[in-house]
């Protein structure tokens, strides 16, 4: 799969980090622009996080598909790329955002396994829960691929793990409820990458149908939100999955028309991981320096100069970390 043909996926990651920064700026807070934007927050969050997990599965399949990569190398590559930056972010959350973590729970956070042990045994850390969930998905996927080589076997094992995790959640209180919301999005990314013929047919589907399914998915998910189903309920999982995949396919199709500048989308994609990790501590430092409190001007500062600064720092840190790993021959 050529780099040029992957650009729509890089663009989707760029779009997702922009949406996340907008969401975390609190521009959707009802006290800022009213209930209209506030009602969009749940849809934006569901889409962008689902998109991140879908892309993680897609690129994980590419990584594991390389000739010189086995399951151990795959898990090691993810460990070295995720854990040191995550530890940096965890330190910033503790010392800048004043997170008070108990000594007994600190080991769980250091190992980045909060997605398994929250909410019963440890609290889920704001923002960083996604990184923990990603690690769990990588471990599960890498382990399955070590023992299973057929797509059918992968699918059966994936469902078995899902229901085993659901049993553990309902009886033991482990596994973050969002595990069930996004588990199949990661798997969908894996399969979307693996089956090129299906991918081509979906891309060739008339865009009118894609728009129809995207709009329909919004109506269905709105009904689920109104009914207040839990994240582990079958209706919620199915509705959220349909919504995420419908909009992912629509945006990938739009990006295949080369919407915008490829270089800009690639730049945003590169910046996304570190920008995700550091934007909250960075914004807190800005707030403290300028004495900012929750208000419309503060939201706008976070949304524009704050987001731009987070992206610039994210890009610089990512490129610097890539060079460090290359220099240490760990990349």
Q: How far apart are CA 61 and CA 106, in angstroms?
A: 32
SS3 29: coil
Which pLDDT value is given to residue 68?
Answer: 63
Under a CB-based contact definition with an 8 Å cutoff, are residues 294 and 258 in contact? no
Under a CB-based contact definition with an 8 Å cutoff, are residues 115 and 168 in contact? no
Q: How far apart are CA 20 and CA 9, in angstroms?
A: 17
Q: How far apart are CA 247 and CA 102, in angstroms?
A: 40
Which pLDDT value is given to residue 87?
Answer: 96
Q: How far apart are CA 222 and CA 39, in angstroms?
A: 10
SS3 69: coil
Residue among 227, 228, 223 nearest 243 (CA) = 223
DSSP of 187-230, one letter per residue? HHHHHHHH-HHHHHHHHHS-HHHHHHHHHHHHHHHHHHHHHT--
Q: Residue-wise pLDDT tens for the chain (331 aa)?
A: 555 558 999 999 999 999 999 999 988 887 767 666 777 899 999 999 999 999 999 999 988 877 566 777 888 889 999 999 999 999 999 999 988 887 878 889 999 999 999 888 888 888 999 999 999 999 998 888 777 878 888 889 999 999 999 999 999 989 999 999 999 999 999 999 999 999 999 999 999 999 999 999 999 999 999 999 988 899 999 999 999 999 999 999 999 887 767 889 999 999 999 999 999 999 999 999 998 888 888 999 999 999 999 999 999 999 999 999 988 877 6
Which pLDDT value is given to residue 1?
Answer: 56
Under a CB-based contact definition with an 8 Å cutoff, are residues 129 and 118 in contact? yes
Which pLDDT value is given to residue 295?
Answer: 83
DSSP of 129-149, one letter per residue? HHHHHHHHHHHHHHHHHHH--
Quote the Cα angle for 262-49-301, to 5°: 70
Farthest CA pair distance, the chain: 57
Which pLDDT value is given to residue 111?
Answer: 92
How many Cα neighbours within 13 Å face the side chain of 316?
Answer: 7
| Distance separating the N- and C-terminal Cα atoms of the chain | 20
How many Cα neighbours within 13 Å face the side chain of 123?
Answer: 8
Which pLDDT value is given to residue 329?
Answer: 76
Tokens 């760990």: give the residue: 330
Residue among 52, 68, 49 nearest 13 (CA) = 52
Cβ atoms < 10 Å from Cβ of 87: 13
Residue among 288, 132, 55 nearest 124 (CA) = 132
């Amino acid at each position: 799969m050529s780099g040029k043909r992957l650009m729509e996926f890089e663009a989707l990651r760029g779009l997702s980090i922009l949406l996340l920064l907008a969401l975390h700026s609190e521009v959707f807070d009802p006290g800022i622009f009213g209930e209209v934007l506030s009602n969009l927050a749940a849809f934006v969050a569901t889409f962008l996080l689902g998109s991140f997990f879908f892309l993680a599965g897609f690129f994980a399949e590419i990584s594991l598909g390389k000739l010189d990569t086995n399951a151990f190398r795959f898990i090691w590559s993810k460990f070295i790329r995720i854990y040191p930056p995550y530890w940096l972010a965890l330190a910033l959350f503790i010392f800048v955002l004043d997170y008070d973590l108990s000594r007994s729970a600190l080991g769980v956070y250091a190992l980045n396994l909060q997605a398994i042990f929250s909410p019963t045994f440890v609290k889920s850390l704001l923002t960083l829960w996604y990184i923990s969930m990603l690690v769990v998905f990588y471990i599960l996927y890498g382990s399955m691929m070590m023992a299973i080589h057929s797509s059918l076997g992968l699918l059966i094992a994936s469902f078995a793990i899902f229901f085993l995790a659901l049993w553990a959640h309902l009886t033991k209180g482990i596994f973050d409820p969002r595990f069930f919301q996004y588990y199949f999005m990661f798997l969908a990314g894996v399969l979307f990458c693996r089956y090129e013929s299906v991918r081509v047919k979906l891309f060739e589907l008339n865009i009118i149908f894609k728009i129809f399914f995207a709009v329909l998915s919004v109506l269905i998910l709105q009904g689920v939100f109104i009914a207040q189903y839990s994240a582990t309920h079958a209706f919620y999982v199915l509705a959220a999955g349909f919504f995420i995949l419908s909009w992912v396919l629509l945006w990938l199709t739009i990006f295949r028309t080369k919407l915008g500048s490829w270089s800009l989308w690639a730049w945003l994609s590169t910046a996304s991981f570190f920008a995700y990790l550091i934007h909250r501590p960075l914004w807190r430092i800005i707030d403290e320096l300028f004495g900012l409190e929750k208000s419309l001007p503060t939201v706008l500062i976070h949304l524009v100069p704050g987001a731009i600064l987070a992206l610039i720092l994210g890009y610089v840190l990512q490129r610097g970390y890539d060079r460090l790993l290359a220099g240490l021959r760990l990349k």
